[in-house]
Structure 1
């Protein structure tokens, strides 16, 4: 250890055995659960609170620690340290763990002991990283499972429902991290949820769900397309609603961020080399009308405010929505129709590579099976008195509603009719509902989709512009 800790005598986790007393242990926190409350059987009507964490002091040894006590004590103790910090534990009670019961809900550990922390006798202190040996700090980058013991995302998808309910290890890159969603259950318990999208060389997008605050805090630190994780003991489930496999972080899960293993380094090199060119499905195109209730979108912005809002949302996966009263300043529908109307795969909605007759998203020969359809594919500019939003996507049914014609009707028009249609919209103020979401393939890293665009009522527009929505 560094000089400030060198004089202290610590008991190694490998030397623990039940009923040892007056111990001092140092380790790095590699996992942690949320605080939970339970009815106190000894004091009817009151609750006892608890939380657990896992510490490690060597590549081969780590142990679970649990603390019980009053709500104030437990919450204060839990808030005093995070995953990745080193702690010194004094006077823990060493108990023999009950393998079958405890490892069903807690991380599997190599030894036969666990730590129990008492409110009256035990203490936990956080060490400054400057005080700690770098070898101890480096343990945060070592997975708790053998580095080759994992499923690729492609393997999970290929095995499908045969893995439903299984607990496995996953090595993957982080594609995006959603914003935490907070909710209250029917029995008034507060909860949270965060969805992380993963990918690797074998699968372009795979959902991992975090339900506890501790794993969500860790996930919020991940940099999309620049972070690799080794998630040990995640639960794999078949999501009937989405009709796909998903992973869930559970109380047994230990996640290692940017693990220092050969397999992780290969994946990290892959994602960095392909960051700009990898044709991953960055977003689901809105070729079908979005299933968004426009009545729920109420915030009115100017272009300038939307640009500020977008910059504040940089790096966040969840979309945001807004209303804009603006002019369509660019609407090139009287150009070559190949830039206006595209073939799309009816299986997934993505634009079909017509030269190869292949859908790049689902790798089906769409034209051969006639599973394509024609769809508007427009990029328009929107302008108000504060600026311009460039390359906003106007596609599918929304484009048909906006232009007032179907694709086939449009294709039957003469050039003069298309130009006349364009001038019905240019320089006329419209009420436009917009969706903004992260896309590494879009200009500025953000994709803007039009959800609805109709000529604005002048009185309504004037009233709303006079009290423009705040960011």
Structure 2
């Protein structure tokens, strides 16, 4: 086309005509219908998206036209597509414009306005007149965050601060833990829309819920791999999740998602995610293994008090962010004076298991491989690590107020309580195992426990026995609570 020249985003300005912009789409929104001012009683449509052509230059754009035309264009282009934009109008961004609040944060002081009758936007492929190296460089921009890669909040920050954080939008660096199914939701105005929940983790917490509402992102999330996909989320919206009873985040029109960012922080998180504990029992075991000195736990509780605290606020009914801003942590520890009323070391109950040393997946009896978990680097063949054999014992603790069945006594904590290693235990005779059991069974003991509280999704609390030993009668008489 005569007079057309290629213009990079950094050189755009008002009055530039016949510009050709070649860039990659890094974010897109669902088209919106708007009442036409020129033709009252009719509707137009607008589709907003964000373009980038260097690590430092990105700009928002809007395509206006008939509903059919706009939907056709928007449905044919996706995040990650390299496009050629022709004859777009370059306008100065209006800082006070309410629309700015719902658009991604960009570096360009301008915005592009495209119209059905005057502008074109089409997909580009590396052909003769378009350098393949340039195309590949644009694709690589999809892995560079649009904000400083080291400036983000942790999940612990979000959960701890909640609605008191003082900001509606935040940046996060997270790894995918689980991708939920697509759900159909009916809105208050009768529309049917789709939603998807994704659970993410980082080094500070194993569970934050992200809600996806944009159709393209809902589809894209289907390709995210738990423990492998890392996301840098620029400008996600803080939202109280009434069902999960804690703070969550929502991806919406302002958010830019950078998939598998090429940064040091992301690589560290990806390595951590390979073996991070995700299941509640694994989280409990991980926390328990980090407590080096259980004797420092001095808060005394009865079994009834433990149960009451462990079940507190497990119902999602009537929840609101104001009610639960100061909700207690999801776990607590305490000392209880109790009897060990169940400890099967010499019967038919399993007390030893084999598990993957990387991801802690339990290896079923007769399993011949190293790990059945395909998401684990050992299970996928990327790494090699021999399985480990550990204690995995269930204990019941009882006092005058009730019982705590199914307390987990595992790994090194079990070795401390029993006074022998797994290897030594495996060579004991049945008589020796019985003798070992009766050192604690039906004895009044001082038991230090770690409790993972119940939640709306998991109504049963999980309890780990950190240490247990026969108690001094005088100490019990002085400190044991009456109820």
Normalising by structure 1, what TM-score? 0.58
Secondary structure, aligned partner of 2:244: coil
Specify every segment of 5 or more residues in structure 2 that has no aligned partner in the other structure, as ranges. 285-305, 313-328, 343-348, 351-363, 366-402, 405-483
**How much has 1:30 moved relative to structure 2?**
0.4
**How much has 1:38 moved relative to structure 2?**
1.8
In 1, Cα distance between equivalents of 2:64 and 2:234 = 26
Correspondence for 1:110: 107
In 2, Cα distance between equivalents of 1:40 and 1:82 = 26
* 1:143 and 1:230 in contact (8 A); partners too: yes
In 2, Cα distance between equivalents of 1:245 and 1:369 = 36
Matched, 1:38 2:34: yes
In 2, Cα distance between equivalents of 1:200 and 1:348 = 26
Query: Which of 225, 228, 235 is the aligned partner of 1:226?
Result: 228
Query: Which of 362, 365, 369 is the aligned partner of 2:333?
Result: 365
In 2, Cα distance between equivalents of 1:234 and 1:373 = 50
Q: Are residues 184 and 41 of structure 1, via their aligned partners in 2, closer, same or farther at CA, if it must alter by over 3 Å? A: farther
Q: 1:182-237: per-residue Cα shift (whole Å, max 9, x none)? A: 23334333322111111011001000111221321222221111100000001112
Query: Which of 310, 313, 325 is the aligned partner of 1:347?
Result: 310
**How much has 1:251 moved relative to structure 2?**
1.1
Q: Are residues 201 and 18 of structure 1, via their aligned partners in 2, closer, same or farther at CA, if it must alter by over 3 Å? A: same
Q: Are residues 348 and 218 of structure 1, via their aligned partners in 2, closer, same or farther at CA, if it must alter by over 3 Å? A: farther
In 2, Cα distance between equivalents of 1:110 and 1:369 = 62
Correspondence for 1:255: 257
In 1, Cα distance between equivalents of 2:190 and 2:36 = 19
* 1:26 and 1:86 in contact (8 A); partners too: yes
Correspondence for 2:178: 176
Superposed counterparts of 1:88-167, under 5 Å? 88-101=84-97, 102-128=99-125, 132=132, 133=134, 134-163=136-165, 166-167=168-169
Secondary structure, aligned partner of 1:144: coil
Correspondence for 1:190: 192
Superposed CA RMSD in Å reads 3.4
In 1, Cα distance between equivalents of 2:34 and 2:5 = 36
Aligned residues: 303
Superposed counterparts of 1:430-445, under 5 Å? none
Deviates more, 1:17-26 or 1:94-103: 94-103
**How much has 1:348 moved relative to structure 2?**
6.6
Matched, 1:77 2:76: no
**How much has 1:169 moved relative to structure 2?**
0.2
In 1, Cα distance between equivalents of 2:103 and 2:57 = 15
Superposed counterparts of 1:216-365, under 5 Å? 216-272=218-274, 274=275, 278=277, 280-281=279-280, 347=310, 362-365=330-333
Query: Which of 198, 202, 205 is the aligned partner of 2:204?
Result: 202
Correspondence for 1:412: none
In 1, Cα distance between equivalents of 2:283 and 2:263 = 33
Q: Are residues 211 and 282 of structure 1, via their aligned partners in 2, closer, same or farther at CA, if it must alter by over 3 Å? A: farther
In 2, Cα distance between equivalents of 1:230 and 1:263 = 10
Q: 1:16-40: per-residue Cα shift (whole Å, max 9, x none)? A: 0012110100001100000111222
In 1, Cα distance between equivalents of 2:341 and 2:77 = 55
Matched, 1:49 2:45: yes
In 2, Cα distance between equivalents of 1:271 and 1:175 = 8
Specify every segment of 5 or more residues in structure 1 that has no aligned partner in the other structure, as ranges. 1-7, 286-342, 350-360, 380-389, 392-406, 409-471
Normalising by structure 2, what TM-score? 0.57
In 1, Cα distance between equivalents of 2:239 and 2:188 = 24
Q: Are residues 45 and 82 of structure 1, via their aligned partners in 2, closer, same or farther at CA, if it must alter by over 3 Å? A: same
Matched, 1:87 2:89: no
